[in-house]
Structure 1
Amino acid sequence: MNPTVSIIVATYNRSGYILEAIASISNQTFKDWECLIVDDGGTDNTKEVLLPILAKDHRFKYYLRSSEYQKGLPGARNYGLDLAKGDYIIFFDDDDIVHPQNLEFCVKELESNTDISFCRYISNVFKGAFDGRFDYANEYATFYIDYRDLGKIIKNELQIISCAVMWRKGCFENNRFQESLMYAEEWELYTRIISSGCKGISIEKTLYFGRKHPDSNTGEFYNNDSVRKASYADAIQLVVATLHQRGLVSNDIIRYFTQISLKFKSYDLFARILDTLDLNFFEKLKWQLFYMQLPFRLFLYKIKKRLLQNSQISN
Structure 2
Amino acid sequence: MDAGLVSIIIPTYNRARYIRAALNSIMAQSYTHWECLVVDDGSKDNTEEVMAAICKQDSRISYYKRSEAYPKGVNGARNYGITKSNGDYIAFCDDDDFWLPEKLEKQMPIFKAHPEVGLVTSNIEYVNTDGARTGRVITQRGNHGYVFEDLLLKNRLSMITPVIRRSVIAKVGLFNTDFTLSEDWEYWRRVAYYYPFYALPDVLACVRKHDTNTSRIVTDSPFEQYVLYRELTKALLAWGKGRFTKADRQLIAKVAAKRYKQILRNHCPGIGNKLGLMIQVFKNDWKDGVRFCLKILNL
Same fold per TM (> 0.5)? yes
What TM-score, normalized to structure 2?
0.79
Shift of 1:240: 5.3
Shift of 1:45: 0.6
Q: Which aligned pairs between 1:1-315 and structure 2 lie closer than 5 A?
A: 4-131=5-132, 144-146=144-146, 149-156=147-154, 159-174=156-171, 175-195=173-193, 197-222=194-219, 233-239=230-236, 245-246=244-245, 247-248=247-248, 249-250=250-251, 252-259=254-261, 262=264, 266=280, 268=284, 271-272=287-288, 286-287=294-295, 289=297
Alignment root-mean-square deviation, CA: 3.2
Q: Deviations over 1:127-164 (max 9, x none)?
A: 22223699xxxxxx998411xx22322333x7223212
Match of 1:295 in 2: none
Q: Deviations over 1:234-282 (max 9, x none)?
A: 224323555783432436513223235656765648954976xxxxxxx
Distance in 2 between residues matched to 1:159 and 1:166, nearest whole Å: 15
* 2:196 alignment partner AA: K
What TM-score, normalized to structure 1?
0.75
Shift of 1:9: 0.1
Distance in 2 between residues matched to 1:190 and 1:254, nearest whole Å: 17
- Aligned in 2, Cα 1:239/1:273: closer, same or farther, shift over 3 Å? farther
SS in 2 for 1:80: helix
Distance in 2 between residues matched to 1:273 and 1:238, nearest whole Å: 18
Distance in 2 between residues matched to 1:211 and 1:133, nearest whole Å: 10
Q: Is the 8 A contact 2:96 2:208 kept in 1?
A: yes
Shift of 1:83: 0.8
Distance in 1 between residues matched to 2:226 and 2:44, nearest whole Å: 25
SS in 2 for 1:145: coil
> How many positions carry a matched residue from both structures?
271
Q: Is the 8 A contact 2:125 2:133 kept in 1?
A: no
Q: Deviations over 1:46-86 (max 9, x none)?
A: 01012111012110000000001000001000101111100
- Work out which of the two has the higher radius of gyration on C-alpha atoms and give 1 or 2: 1
SS in 2 for 1:44: coil
* 2:258 alignment partner AA: Y
Q: Percent identity?
A: 25
Q: Is the 8 A contact 1:217 1:228 kept in 2?
A: no
* 2:175 alignment partner AA: F
Structure 1 unaligned spans of 5+: 135-140, 276-283, 292-315
